[in-house]
Amino acid sequence: MRDGQAMSRETLINILLAAALLALPFVAIAMEEPFYITLATRMAILALAAVGLNIALGLGGLISFGHAAFFGIGGYVAGIFASHAFNMEPMFSAPFEFSGSDQMPVIWLAAMLVSVFVAIPIGAISLRTSGVYFIMITLAFAQMIYYFAISWPAYGGEDGLSIITRNGFPGVNTANPLSFFLLCYGVLAVALLMFWLIQNSRFGAALQAGRQNEQRLAAVGIAPFRIRLVAFAISAAITGLAGALFADLNRFVSPSMLSWHMSGELIVLIILGGTARLFGPVAGAVLFVLFEFALGGITEHWQFFLGLILLGVVLFARGGLIGLVAGKARHG
Amino acid sequence: MSLLEISGLESFYGASQALFGVNLRVAEGEVVALMGRNGMGKTTTIGSVIGLVRPRNGAIRLSGKDVAGMQPHRIARLGVGLVPEGRRCFPNLTVHENLVAAARPGVWTLARINELFPRLEERRDQYANTLSGGEQQMLAVSRALMTNPKLLILDEATEGLAPVIRQDIWAAIRRLKAEGQSILVVDKTLSELLPVADRCFVLEKGRTVFSGRPNELTADLQDRYLGV
């Protein structure tokens, strides 16, 4: 029930999560462990990518196994723009000359636009199917882009592409890890606000209604396809934006950002945190990076243990971390 | 011109034929009863009108426009509001979300729905799957009204409800009729259906076997086509 205790408890947990993530880099500075700032930034960026996927997967019930495509496209936009800006070679000269950019606002906008541009044809084809076929078609498209990136030598092919200096943002020294974290955190906050607005809008209600029963939705005069396509495109844009930030965090982009492992990781984040929950992706990303860091320090086979944890979540805590702490999920 | 005119409708589920020639007409402002025993094709007829079942032969005209084979959401947008059998609200949306998701502009607004079913206003933020059967039915009717349909279709809207709730639903139907809403009703309770209806159609084995005024449906005919 929305008005019951569960909701206020979820809100409390959301606030705690947001505060904890924000506090982490400051703790890191106090402990003189700057590496932890990078961990926090990684959490914020992965959470952002999963917020994007959560629109399609959580609200729309569209299990996209190809969101790495958008994550990687965002990354490559950042990498390619930066490399042209660095070399001062024009990317293209018609209809106007454009030689990349090392400014994040330009890169972000381009990452989102290119992601939407790619998501629309992918969505238009794959949304004609559902269930396991949808999963497989999105996967197939993502793998096509993955192999294209591997075989395209102009931007490093399999070796990937380095970003020599982190791209800039007006008024912010992005080379400073804390400033860059705050920038990512701010973007995440805006994306969460957008997710919340969508979830509570009429569009969001129709999207969730379509997840439950598309015939009933059609019977009240709403075409499920169009709504889903829009949701898929918005979802791709946010994940693409996260990809651009991720490339800037690592100052490196490679085809691995496009691979199906990455798509799976994004789904895992959402399941760990809580499907369709506002802060599910944040909880999932925090847990994931913590596991990766803690377990990864003990054994290189840490993903085996992640698998066990995931199994536990699916069997015993289907609402993910948020569901476990805040009560029954609304998702059904 | 009739609001809805069905002639010679034949529909199939895969290879098996369910409708063998249904004729039906709903004029503007009329309440029409569609009757028949179980399995005679009432729900299939409705499914064909709204496009959930693809008709193979015959014509379905909505305000003169042929809608046979069109996609369901397009037909709904032309002004058909369906209250499906078994209610079928969106279970994990709140009452309010169920209503606004469906809304299209017209005389039916949230305020008027709340006046028609004050109970729903009290339940505004509750999920549909936590409502009682009667409340879910009110929600299903309201959701259809929020689309501001020219034709409201009620498929077994009072089935399985407590008598006092049934009275509420029938009272709402009578009120809608008084306001000039065209309605196609499927229901098994003749004692309540016949006084409201302007015209009746009876189906047997996928065919229209009777059409006429409620008073022309004699006890004999009732026994023959509707009795158990």
Q: Does the beta carbon of A217 lie under 8 angstroms from any beta carbon of chain B?
A: yes
pLDDT at A233: 98
B210 vs B196: CA distance, rounded Å? 18
Distance CA B58, CA B42 (A): 16
How far apart CA A178 and CA A105 sit, in angstroms, is 19
Q: Report H helices in A2-67.
A: 5-30, 35-54
Q: Does A208 touch chain B (CB under 8 A)?
A: yes
| Any B CB within 8 A of A218 CB | yes
Task: Please give the residue of chain B at the shortest CA–CA distance from A332.
Answer: B92
Q: How far is A1 from chain B (nearest CA, A)?
A: 6
- Residue A330 is predicted with a pLDDT of 55
pLDDT averaged over every residue in chain A: 92
Closest CA to B157 of B143, B173, B145, B180: B173
Tokens read off for A223: 């075409």
Residue of B nearest to A1 (CA): B126
> Looking at the predicted structure, is the pLDDT value of residue A314 above 90?
no
Phi, psi of B226 (to 5 degrees): -120, -20
Q: What is the domain partition of chain A in residue ranges?
A: 5-326
Cα-based distances in Å from B225 to A117, A255, B41: 59, 69, 13
Per-residue pLDDT of chain B (228 residues; tens, 9 = 90+): 789 999 999 999 988 999 999 999 999 999 999 999 988 999 999 999 999 998 999 999 999 999 998 999 999 999 999 998 887 899 889 999 999 998 999 999 999 999 999 999 999 999 998 999 899 999 999 999 999 999 999 999 888 888 988 999 999 999 999 999 999 999 988 889 999 999 999 999 999 999 999 999 888 888 888 876
What is residue A3's predicted lDDT score, i.e. its pLDDT? 46
Token pair in block for residue A178: 């804390």
Contact at CB, A212 and B97, closer than 8 angstroms: no
- Flag whether residue A330 sits within 8 Å of chain B, measured between CB atoms: yes
Q: How far apart (Å, rounded) are the C-alpha atoms in residues B113 and A58? A: 30
Against a cut of 0.90, is the pTM above it? Answer: no
| B71 in reach of chain A (CB within 8 A) | yes
B88 contact A CB<8A:
yes
Query: Residue A8: pLDDT above 80?
Result: no
Fold (CATH) for B1-72+185-228: Rossmann fold (3.40.50)
Using CA atoms, how far residue A116 sits from A82, A109, A110, A184, B62, in Å, is 21, 11, 10, 21, 38
CATH of domain A5-326: 1.10.3470
Could you give phi then psi for residue A240, rounded to 5 degrees?
Answer: -65, -40
Q: Establish if B191 touches chain A: CB-CB under 8 angstroms.
A: no
pLDDT digits (tens, 9 = 90+) for B190-218: 889 999 999 999 999 999 999 999 999 88
For chain A, how many residues are written? Answer: 332
The domains of chain B are located at: 1-72+185-228
Asked if the Cβ–Cβ distance from A215 to B147 is below 8 Å, we say no
Q: Are B33 and B199 in contact (CB under 8 A)?
A: yes
Residues in A closer than 8 angstroms to B73, CB to CB, are 217-219, 221-224
Residue of B67, B87, B92, B130 to mutate for A, most A C-beta atoms under 10 A: B92
Would you give the distance in Å from CA B152 to the centre of its chain?
6
For B64-97, b/e burial (b = at least 16 CB within 10 A) is: eeebbebebbebbbebbbbbbbebbbbbbbbbbb
Rounded Cα gap, residues A234 and A257, in angstroms:
19
The one-letter amino acid at A11: T
**In this structure, is the dihedral angle defined by the CA atoms of residues A8, A13, A14 and A16, taken in order, positive or negative?**
positive
Give the closest of B51, B101, B147 to A206, CB-based: B101
Q: Which residue has the tokens 């009429």?
A: A202
Among chain A residues, the shortest Cα distance to B88 is held by: A216
pLDDT confidence bin for A272, thresholds 50/70/90: very high
Give the pLDDT score at B88: 82
Query: What's the confidence (pLDDT) of residue B228?
Result: 64
For the residues A281-306, what does the mean pLDDT come to? 91
Residue A7, pLDDT score: 57
